[in-house]
């Protein structure tokens, strides 16, 4: 490690030694020494987000596509609090993040200045690990610990609080030689995933051999191409069905890949999808539960009496577990089942009134090879799964914690992690409004992101939920709480105001043309689809 002049520089060196070289930031006065250290030391890509939900969501997207943690820089308790919803989503997605949160200098905390708050208390519910650094000399050790925590499978949230004096005080201790190599070894150890228990492999194989329909339900990294291929071999050999949990941090899909259709969101549809199964083998996921409770409906979605067998949990070696299961089932060299046919080339029919089915057909036809799709399309996107199964191979990323506003920030992080791949963010207008500042970061960084806004000018899903929970039909006050039409949002103006070129379409052929234009060139674009 190079010599560090102060605690802030020590932390920057430690992060870089630990392979953390992207920082999504929104700083304030208490973080100025860290900002100055980032300025002086080469190696960290710093990306400004104009709201902390953009910052934390971008770090989530970055981890999902790169498999390694980024850091965030956040301003005391309120800055961190602004970023919590997307930290919650990242935590549920199993994304590793190192949050660096500034605090007042130690002596200043006692004065109860305006920005003083219980930062550890704010951090704890959305973090796996929280620590306040006490001195400039501790920061290298504390920073290294944060990096190791964030790398632990499946990826964890580590929050390191950096008091301003810890940042500005000189470092007394000389830097230790060889710290980068030592950290690399420690990180490799921290990232090691435990193999499935032999007993769990035996039990899963037995479930797959038993009579009656069995489901192989996948989550986490079991949704990566090689693991899916193993699942397809097991399905071909045993006749089981392969599905993925409803929310997926990253699902490899498309022509040539084993399909793992997602469990439906709507409770009745989810119950129906699971009803046939007598056994469910869980790989990197847990027993399926309803998103919400609905009067008179079960919370547990598996049919009563169904046997649940856990092959491996989300932090274990899921590909290895599936390989062991394939071996136990004699399926290692069986050709995999469940590979969808490539979507038909678009005919002249891609025109006419807009409908979710028509939009899905356009997306399926136009999706470029290796695209990264961020799906926050809510009700418009419900049918996109089957329609896009045979599109060119791509990754499909959904919100994992149910807090909307994840999509555009995750698009930022995914585009930075994978600059050679096209990112397509499919957004409900209500969801996109939570973190629309991400468009400015997309423009500023010149990210290759096409955003499609489904402007139904409504929280349409909540109309269905109102009826679903038995709350009756909406009167004028309830309707007002669920509609966005007074005034209508002008997404073309909003996007242009943040430096993103945009067009509005209200017909399928125009959408097809706009999507082809946007996907056919590099850089930011937005299409407002008025429904």
Ligand X SMILES: Cc1ncc(C[n+]2csc(CCOP(=O)(O)OP(=O)(O)O)c2C)c(N)n1
List residues near ligand X by CB under 6 A: 85, 378-380, 402-405, 428-431, 456, 458-462
Taking the least distance from each CB to ligand X, the nearer of 23 and 436 is 436
- CA 287, 293, 298, 303: dihedral to nearest 10 degrees? -30
3-class DSSP assignment, residue 389:
coil
With CB atoms as reference, the residue minimizing the distance to ligand X is: 428
* Residue 219 or 430 having the CB closest to ligand X: 430
Q: How far is the CB of 85 from ligand X (least distance, A)?
A: 5
Residue 89 or 133: the one with the smaller Cβ distance to ligand X is 89
Closest approach of ligand X to the CB of residue 88, in Å: 9
Answer whether 65's CB lies under 8 Å from 155's CB.
no
Of 380 and 437, the one with the shorter C-beta distance to ligand X is: 380
Alpha-carbon span 340 to 433, nearest angstrom: 35
- Is 46 or 482 the residue whose CB approaches ligand X more closely? 482
**Closest residue by Cα to residue 124 from 106, 144, 145, 99:** 99
Shortest CB 39 distance to ligand X, Å: 34
Give least dist CB 407 to ligand X, A: 9
Q: Which of 514, 386, 391 minimizes the C-alpha distance to 450?
A: 514
Q: Which is nearer to ligand X, 259 or 452 (CB)?
A: 452
Largest CA distance in the chain: 72
3-class secondary structure, 324: helix
- In whole angstroms, how far apart are CA 160 and each of 21, 149, 327, 405? 16, 11, 43, 25
Q: Which residues pair with 241 in a beta bridge?
A: 215
Residue 402 CB, nearest approach to ligand X (Å):
5
222: left (phi over 0), alpha (psi -120 to 50) or beta: alpha
CB 332 within 8 A of CB 509: no
Q: How many residues does the chain have?
A: 531
Is 390 or 430 the residue whose CB approaches ligand X more closely? 430
Q: Answer yes or no: are the C-beta atoms of 345 and 338 closer than 8 Å.
A: no
**How far apart are alpha carbons 437 and 28 in whole angstroms?**
18
How many alpha carbons fall within 13 Å on the CB side of residue 372? 27
Nearest approach, Cβ of residue 492 and ligand X (Å)? 17
Q: Compute the least distance from the CB of residue 70 to ligand X, in Å.
A: 22
* C-alpha–C-alpha distance, residues 416 and 58, integer Å: 9
Q: Is the peptide bond before 154 cis (omega within 30 degrees of 0)?
A: yes
Q: Smallest gap, in angstroms, from Cβ of residue 530 to ligand X?
A: 13
Comparing CB distances to ligand X, the nearer of 165 and 375 is 375
Q: Are the CB atoms for 146 and 178 separated by under 8 Å? A: no
Strands (E), 399-513: 423-428, 449-455, 502-505
Tell me the CA distances in angstroms from 158 to 81, 130, 374, one per residue in order.
15, 6, 25
Of residues 413 and 430, the one with the C-beta less far from ligand X: 430
The distance of closest approach from Cβ of residue 124 to ligand X in the complex, given in angstroms and rounded to an integer, is: 19
Residue 485 CB, nearest distance to ligand X (Å)? 11
| Residue with Cβ nearer ligand X (403 or 466) | 403
Q: What token pair was written down for 172? A: 């007394």
Helix extents (H) in 169-212:
179-190, 198-209
The CB-of-324 to ligand X minimum distance in angstroms stands at 38
State the Cα–Cα distance between residues 160 and 140, nearest whole angstrom. Answer: 12
Tokens standing for residue 325 = 């299961």
CA distances from 116 to 77, 110, 119, 169, 369 (A): 7, 9, 8, 20, 49
Instruction: Output the smallest distance, CB 431 to ligand X, in A.
Output: 3
Question: Is the CB of 198 or the CB of 402 nearer to ligand X?
Answer: 402
Closer CB to ligand X, 12 or 461, in the complex: 461
């Amino acid at each position: 490690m190079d010599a560090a002049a102060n605690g802030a520089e020590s932390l920057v060196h430690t992060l870089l030694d630990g392979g953390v070289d992207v920082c999504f930031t929104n700083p304030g006065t208490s973080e100025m020494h860290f900002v100055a250290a980032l300025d002086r030391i080469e190696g960290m890509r710093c990306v400004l987000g104009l709201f902390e939900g953009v910052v934390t969501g971008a770090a989530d997207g970055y981890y999902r596509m790169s498999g390694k943690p980024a850091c965030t820089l956040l301003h005391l308790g309120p800055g961190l609090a602004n970023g919590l919803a997307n930290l919650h989503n990242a935590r549920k997605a199993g994304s590793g993040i190192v949050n660096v949160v500034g605090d007042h200098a130690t002596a200043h905390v006692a004065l109860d200045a305006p920005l003083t708050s219980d930062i550890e208390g704010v951090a704890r519910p959305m973090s796996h690990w929280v620590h306040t650094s006490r001195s400039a000399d501790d920061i290298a050790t504390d920073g290294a610990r944060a990096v190791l925590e964030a790398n632990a499978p499946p990826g964890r949230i580590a929050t390191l609080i950096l008091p301003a004096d810890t940042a500005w005080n000189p470092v007394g201790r000389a830097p230790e030689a060889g710290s980068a190599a030592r950290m690399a070894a420690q990180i490799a150890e921290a990232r090691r995933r435990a193999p499935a228990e032999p007993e769990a492999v035996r039990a899963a194989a037995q479930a797959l051999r038993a009579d009656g329909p069995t489901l192989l339900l996948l989550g986490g990294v079991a949704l990566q191409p090689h693991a899916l291929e193993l699942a397809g071999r097991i399905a071909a050999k045993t006749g089981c069905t392969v599905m993925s949990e409803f929310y997926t941090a990253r699902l490899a899909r498309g022509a040539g890949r084993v399909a793992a259709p997602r469990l439906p969101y709507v409770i009745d549809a989810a119950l129906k999808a699971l009803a046939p199964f007598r056994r469910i083998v869980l790989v990197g996921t847990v027993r399926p539960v309803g998103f919400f409770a609905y009067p008179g409906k079960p919370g547990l979605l598996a049919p009563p009496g169904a046997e649940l067998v856990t092959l491996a949990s989300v932090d274990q070696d899921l590909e290895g577990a599936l390989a062991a299961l394939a071996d136990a089932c004699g399926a290692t060299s069986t050709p995999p089942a469940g590979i969808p046919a490539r979507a038909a080339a678009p005919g002249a029919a891609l025109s006419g009134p807009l409908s979710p089915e028509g939009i899905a057909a356009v997306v399926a036809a136009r999706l470029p090879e290796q695209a990264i799709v961020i799906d926050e399309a809510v009700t418009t996107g419900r049918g996109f799964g089957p329609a896009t199964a045979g599109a060119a191979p791509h990754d499909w990323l959904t919100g994992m914690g149910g807090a909307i506003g994840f999509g555009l920030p995750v698009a930022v992080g995914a585009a930075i992690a994978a600059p050679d791949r096209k990112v397509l963010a499919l957004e409900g207008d209500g969801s996109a409004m939570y973190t629309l500042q991400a468009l400015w970061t997309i423009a500023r960084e010149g990210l290759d992101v096409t955003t499609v806004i489904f402007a139904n000018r409504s929280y349409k899903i909540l109309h269905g939920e109102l009826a679903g929970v038995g709350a009756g039909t909406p009167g004028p006050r309830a309707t007002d709480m669920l509609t966005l039409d007074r005034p209508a949002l002008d997404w073309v103006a909003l996007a242009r105001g943040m430096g993103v070129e945009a067009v509005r379409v209200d017909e399928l052929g125009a959408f097809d043309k706009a999507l082809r234009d946007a996907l056919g060139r590099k850089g930011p674009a937005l299409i407002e689809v008025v429904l």
